[in-house]
């Protein structure tokens, strides 16, 4: 291993540590929010955990990694997901009169990908006990094993007009958008702290940004001369800043919730 390889390995370790420290501070900030109530997560033993995790990320389609398929309530056919249904049923090969979209909130039946058991919509298969989606929303009939998705991915949460038809708790974010409390808890569990619709921070991140300032000061970066333009998701300002491998700081509000433009 050469000197350059060692330098990059060291930088990667520093980057990972900085990310963990910022996530820890953001989590404390979210949990201290008086409008947010955390749901206690029950412990499971090793056998249950192994059964729940079986086949994770091995099933699904181009749109989702999940361990179930759905029966479309509109045409009674089975598809990997609603997007697969919509692509098939809106193809130019389908008679225009017969084209249609799947009403996902009306889905009633799912089929376990591991054992093939058809059942009512639920998170854990009634037959083999596998978790059919690490993220599950009963209201939106959404299953997803890919929990590494960024917070801006709308399909990972459930903010929509159907929120107010649900008996599940609803939380209003600082940006004004609404989200299921359970979905917000899922975001917290995976250290995602931005609104899935507008990408604004869902809690006061100032302490996390201060900690990130400290972390970045200790991380070397070999791209001193490269500049990039960024857009701040929190205040909407644009800035030209020095490129960094970890994050870019808004020059107006000092937030690191930014993206390159």
Give 181-210 pLDDT, tens digit per residue. Answer: 888 888 887 778 888 878 889 888 888 899
pLDDT at 100: 92
pLDDT at 107: 95
Supply the mean pLDDT for the chain.
Answer: 77
pLDDT at 5: 42
pLDDT at 222: 53
CATH topology of domain 205-260: Rubrerythrin, domain 2 (2.20.28)
| Mean pLDDT (whole number) for 216-221 | 76
Verdict on whether the full-model pTM lies above 0.75: no
Of the ranges 45-54, 84-93, 179-188, the best mean pLDDT one: 84-93
pLDDT at 53: 92
> How many beta carbons lie within 10 A of that of residue 35, not counting itself?
11
| 216: helix, strand or coil | helix
Whether the predicted pLDDT of 166 surpasses 50: no
pLDDT at 179: 81
Of the ranges 156-165, 168-177, 184-193, 224-233, the best mean pLDDT one: 224-233
Confidence of residue 102 (pLDDT cuts 50, 70, 90): very high
pLDDT at 26: 56
pLDDT at 24: 53
- Taking CA atoms, 26 is separated from 39, 233, 243, 250, in Å, by 17, 16, 23, 18
Write out the residue limits of the CATH 2.20.28.10 domain(s) in the chain.
205-260
pLDDT at 128: 95
- 32, HSE (Cβ side, Cα atoms, 13 Å): 9
Whether the predicted pLDDT of 35 surpasses 50: no
Confidence of residue 145 (pLDDT cuts 50, 70, 90): confident
């Amino acid at each position: 291993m050469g000197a350059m390889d060692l330098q990059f390995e060291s930088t990667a370790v520093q980057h990972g540590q900085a990310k963990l420290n910022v996530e820890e501070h953001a989590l404390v900030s979210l949990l201290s929010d008086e409008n947010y109530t955390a749901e206690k997560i029950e412990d499971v033993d090793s056998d249950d955990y192994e059964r729940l995790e079986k086949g994770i990320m091995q099933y699904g389609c181009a749109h989702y990694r999940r361990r179930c398929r759905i029966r479309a309530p509109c045409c009674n056919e089975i598809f990997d997901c609603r997007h697969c249904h919509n692509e098939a049923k809106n193809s130019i090969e389908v008679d225009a009169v017969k084209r249609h979209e799947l009403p996902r909130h009306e889905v009633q039946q799912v089929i376990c990908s591991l054992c093939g058991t058809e059942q009512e919509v639920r998170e854990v298969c009634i037959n083999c006990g596998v978790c059919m989606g690490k993220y599950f929303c009963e209201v939106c009939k959404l299953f997803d094993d890919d929990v590494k998705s960024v917070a801006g991915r709308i399909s990972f949460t459930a903010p929509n007009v159907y929120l107010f038809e649900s008996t599940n708790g609803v939380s209003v974010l600082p940006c004004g958008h609404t989200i299921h409390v359970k979905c917000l808890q899922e975001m917290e569990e995976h250290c995602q702290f931005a609104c899935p619709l507008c990408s604004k921070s869902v809690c006061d991140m100032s302490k996390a940004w201060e900690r990130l300032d400290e972390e970045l000061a200790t991380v070397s970066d070999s791209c001193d001369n490269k500049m990039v333009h960024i857009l701040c998701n929190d205040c909407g300002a644009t800035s030209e800043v020095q490129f960094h491998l970890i994050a870019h700081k808004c020059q107006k509000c000092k937030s690191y919730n930014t993206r390159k433009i």
